[in-house]
Amino acid sequence: MHLIWGTLNREKLLPKEAAARLSRYLTEYADTKGLYMKINYVNADHVHTLIDLPTGTSIEELIQFLKGSSSHWINANNVLREKFAWGRGYGVFSVSESNVKQVAAYIAGQEEHHRVRTF
């Protein structure tokens, strides 16, 4: 699944250092939950992940795990000076096995992609 979610009001709240820390956290958190996150990229105002959806877990539960735990982690660890929150909603796209490499490359290229485009 290719998941995308944004910061509250799509504000650019995550500077590069905070984004890198959050990216590591998401990977580690997914691992502790038995989730296979192939790749993620944290932009200043949104996140992309490519993750397997486990049997018995709904998309809503997966998003709740990722958004809820990460916003709690950001605030509990004072990653940012101000209180942090994700915006409502998310985007989710099913990815066939034949397209996994393409989607992973797209996510890996987010920094370059957003030099010319916005969320």
Q: Which pLDDT score, from 0 to 100, does residue 110 have? A: 86
Indicate if the pLDDT at residue 113 is higher than 70.
no
Indicate if the pLDDT at residue 20 is higher than 60.
yes
Q: Which two tokens stand for residue 2?
A: 């290719």
Q: Work out the mean pLDDT of the chain and round it to a whole number.
A: 94
Q: What φ, ψ does residue 77 adopt, rounded to 5°?
A: -105, 10
Q: Higher-confidence residue: 79 or 111?
A: 79
Indicate if the pLDDT at residue 1 is higher than 60.
yes
Q: Which pLDDT score, from 0 to 100, does residue 15 have? A: 97
Q: Count Cα neighbours of 6 within 13 Å in the Cβ-side half-sphere.
A: 12
pTM given for the model:
0.90
Domains of the chain: 2-88 (3.30.70.1290)
Concatenating the DSSP letter of every residue in 36-74 gives -EEEEEE-SSEEEEEE---TT--HHHHHHHHHHHHHHHH
Per-residue burial over 34-52, b = 16 or more CB atoms within 10 Å of its CB, e = otherwise:
ebebbbbbbbbbbbbbbbe
Residue range 44-82, pLDDT digits in tens: 999 999 999 989 999 999 999 999 999 999 999 999 999
Q: Which pLDDT score, from 0 to 100, does residue 112 have? A: 72
Indicate if the pLDDT at residue 117 is higher than 70.
no
